[in-house]
Amino acid sequence: MDDKARIPTNLRTLLILEILSSSDHPLTATEINQDIKLPKQTVHRLCNTLVRAGFLTQLGSSKRYQPAGRLRDLSAGLLDASRVQIARHQILVQVAREARETVNFVVPEELGMSYIDRVETDWAFRIQLPVGTHVPFHCTASGKCFLASLPTRNRRAFVASMELKKLTEQTHTDPDKLLAELKEISSKGYSLDREEFLDGMVAISVPVTDVKGRFFAALAIHGPIQRLSHETVLSHQGTLLDAAEQLRGTIFSDEDGNDALN
């Protein structure tokens, strides 16, 4: 047996997860094995074990694997257990101080966009969406920010698979109109929620990307229409973009200031 065949099982599993995390699309077991070069049946068995355990999922009825919720939870947990969590939160504090509105750090999950960090506004009148809340993709600034980051073909398939539930009079329920807005968001680099999720609430969101430009999270500001009109919400775009760049450098850099993913 060669050195590859003697790789411990737990390390084999990590190598599979590492390869999938570095790919921008789901992979078959054969494609995964191009780098690992283990016996074919071993890679198939390990991938199926990871699916049963909730770390991977298969794309529809295909034989392609992609990260599942449990793996993303693990990734988020590892980040939250480190210095990154503190540094990330301090950037949100800075944005909230400048904008004087609630700031959210939001990631995509199966159930929708998940709030994993936030800083509340100091105004007495505010709209509360606690950490751990899931909100829809199609009618929130952070959700549309994520959808707009997808390649065009994937974006169309994603929208076609969703129930575009009407939550307010402003909610997009027509797939074509939503896709048109997502194309515009992709071009402009920010997304707006114009009372589409909750009556009386508006929001703006920008993407936080990794060092390869891939979507990682959304950074958003929301507030009541009484303080934050459709027009004035755009005044916070520059602050969010600057903060998103700081977050990218903080989350994806090592202690020496080098890109951790390079």
Read off the pLDDT of residues 135-169 as tens digits, 9 standing for 90 and up: 999 999 999 999 999 999 999 999 999 999 999 99
Q: pLDDT band for position 256 (50/70/90)?
A: very low
What distance in Å separates the CA atoms of residue 128 and residue 115, rounded to the nearest whole number? 11
pLDDT given at position 120? 78
**What pTM was computed for the model?**
0.65
Report yes or no: 205 and 218 within 8 Å, Cβ to Cβ. Answer: yes
| d(C-alpha 77, C-alpha 247), whole Å | 17
Separation of alpha carbons 22 and 227, rounded Å: 42
Percentage of residues in the chain having pLDDT higher than 70:
87
pLDDT top residue among 256 and 79: 79
Which segments within the chain are labelled E, that is strand?
Answer: 27-28, 56-58, 64-67, 102-109, 112-119, 134-135, 191-194, 201-209, 215-224
pLDDT, tens digit (0-9, with 9 covering 90-100), for 41-84: 888 889 888 888 888 888 777 788 888 888 877 777 776 666 77
Tell me how far the alpha carbon of residue 178 is from its chain's centroid. Answer: 19
Which residues make beta-bridge pairs with 221?
A: 103, 204
**CA-CA distances (angstroms) from residue 74 to 17, 80, 257?**
12, 10, 24
In whole angstroms, give the CA distance from residue 15 to residue 149.
Answer: 27
CA-nearest of 76, 71, 74 to 114 is: 76
For position 81, what pLDDT does the model report? 61
Rounded Cα distance, 240 and 100, in Å: 13
pLDDT digits (tens, 9 = 90+) for 17-28: 888 888 878 888
237-251 and 83-99 are packed helices; what angle lies between their axes, rounded to 10 degrees?
Answer: 170
- Taken in order 186, 139, 22, 244, the sign of the CA dihedral is positive
The Cα–Cα gap between 73 and 52 comes to: 16
Render 111-145 in DSSP notation, one character per residue: TEEEEEEEE--S-SS-----TT-EE-STTSHHHHH
What is the average pLDDT score of the chain?
A: 85
pLDDT in tens, 211-246: 889 999 999 999 898 888 878 888 899 999 999 999
Q: Two tokens at 164?
A: 């575009």
Listed residue (225, 230, 217, 223) closest to 91, CA to CA: 217
Task: Give the Cα separation of 15 and 17 in Å (integer).
Answer: 5
DSSP state at residue 24: S
Tokens read off for 182: 């997502």
C-alpha count within 13 angstroms, C-beta hemisphere, residue 21: 14
Nearest CA-CA partner of 219 in 80, 118, 100? 118
pLDDT > 90 fraction of the chain, expressed in percent and rounded? 42
